């Protein structure tokens, strides 16, 4: 394993990952963004009082799910006390509670909860990963951090490309991250102007997976009713339909 400490290292390590397992290991050892490294390690050291007994992961969070997935969920970044604590994306926080409950209702997860990396959760027809792999301060990665991290998502998409039919973008950040990834992996130019993000937005282009927009499962959206369980159910039902499931 080669620790990625520069953008060039990320490009090289991502391109050389022959499988999702190797890619996950490479991602977990990435140190290419100093601000994100410092933040994820500070959070892991100081901890939240309610998780004081936890040994925080404190590293980049790899993707999770099936190597032959027909559906991919693309998120923003791990939560400071969620994925950054547990080592699995959308695990151990309120956003994950909402997301996995919906995936269970849709038949895409074997259980409705996701609390720890060894809780028995398994996905069906699905892979989940994020545009940025480290928890960022204020949930806001910088453009340079987004671009440095991009080769990880591009390689993950390349590895599941043979079966992938639908991408669900959780939030506007993931929606925008999809277009350069699509071009890098599929060689297809994004439309001009690029389609606007919105909940339920659907973009179908020749030769690439269908893209669906979904409001992010953040507490800001779920607590205010901007995103409801019924709205999530509609998106995942549509994703299954487009994927032929």
Instruction: Read off the pTM.
Output: 0.96
Give residue 2's pLDDT.
63
Give residue 3's pLDDT.
81
Q: CA–CA separation, 11 vs 236, rounded Å?
A: 32
Give residue 1's pLDDT.
54
- Please list the ranges in the chain whose pLDDT falls under 70: 1-2
* Residue 68 Cα distances to 63, 65, 127, 129, angstroms: 13, 9, 8, 14
The strand pair at 210-214 and 202-203 is best described as antiparallel
Q: CA–CA separation, 4 vs 27, rounded Å?
A: 8
């Amino acid at each position: 394993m080669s620790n990625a400490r520069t953008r060039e290292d990320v490009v090289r390590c991502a391109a050389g990952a022959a499988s999702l397992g190797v890619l996950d290991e490479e991602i977990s050892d990435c140190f290419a963004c100093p601000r994100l490294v410092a933040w994820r390690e500070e959070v892991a050291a100081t901890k939240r009082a309610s998780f004081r007994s936890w040994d925080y992961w404190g590293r980049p969070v790899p993707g999770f799910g099936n190597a032959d997935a027909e559906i991919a969920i693309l998120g923003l970044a791990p939560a400071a006390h969620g994925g950054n604590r547990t080592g699995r994306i959308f695990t151990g926080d309120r956003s994950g509670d909402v997301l996995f409950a919906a995936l269970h209702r849709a038949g895409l997860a074997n259980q409705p909860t996701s609390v720890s990396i060894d809780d028995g959760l398994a996905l069906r027809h699905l892979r989940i990963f994020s545009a940025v792999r480290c928890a960022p301060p204020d949930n806001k990665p910088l453009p340079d951090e987004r671009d440095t991290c991009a080769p990880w998502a591009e390689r993950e998409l390349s590895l599941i490309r043979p079966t992938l039919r639908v991408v669900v973008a959780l939030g506007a950040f993931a929606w925008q991250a999809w277009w350069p990834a699509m071009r890098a992996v599929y060689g297809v130019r994004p439309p001009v102007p690029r389609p606007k993000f919105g909940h339920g937005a659907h973009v179908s282009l020749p030769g690439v997976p269908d893209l669906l927009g979904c409001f992010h499962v953040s507490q800001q959206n779920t607590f205010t009713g901007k995103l409801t369980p019924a709205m999530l159910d509609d998106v995942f039902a549509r994703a299954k339909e487009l994927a032929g499931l």
